[in-house]
Amino acid sequence: MEGTARTAPEAPAAIDAGTTNQTYSIGELSREYDITLRSIRFYEDQGLLTPTRVGTTRIFSRRDRGRLALICRGKRLGFSLKTIKTFLDLYQHDGQQADQMRFLLDKAKERIKVLEQQRVDLEQTINELHAIETDIGAQLKAAPVTTGG
């Protein structure tokens, strides 16, 4: 769903830091994070974002923008939306962010383990494909040339 042309901006240190009343439209956030409007609406439906509404217009706060940055980063790192939601929800329960950091550390270790195994599997697959390529190439060079008739 998300585009891969650009890397999303890094998440702010605290997702609701500052007292600014700056707001953002769905289109502004879509362009900034290079994701579709549909993705943002989906994140809202999943309870990850909570924009205010004026009629049918969504108005996103600085907090929503920070949460979206964390969502995009989490997705880029391969975390599920369930994991991302848990991470975001922990922020509200622990102002010092210790629980949030412990949770993320555990999930990061799990993700690293999975990715390292995938790397091993990928190397094995590449080596097998190279062997096939070499074998077939040698067989084709040794095969007699036939002409269509």
Buried-exposed string 13-45: b where 16+ CB fall within 10 A, e elsewhere: eebeeeeeeeebebeebbebbebeeebbeebbe
- Name the residue with higher pLDDT: 106 or 146: 106
Beta carbons of 83 and 35 less than 8 angstroms apart = no
Q: Which band of pLDDT confidence, cut at 50, 70 and 90, is reported for residue 131? A: very high
- H or E element, residue 54: strand 52-54
pLDDT tens readout for residues 66-91: 999 999 999 999 999 999 999 888 87
pLDDT tens readout for residues 23-40: 999 999 999 999 999 999
pTM, two decimals, is: 0.70
Please give the pLDDT value at position 6.
44
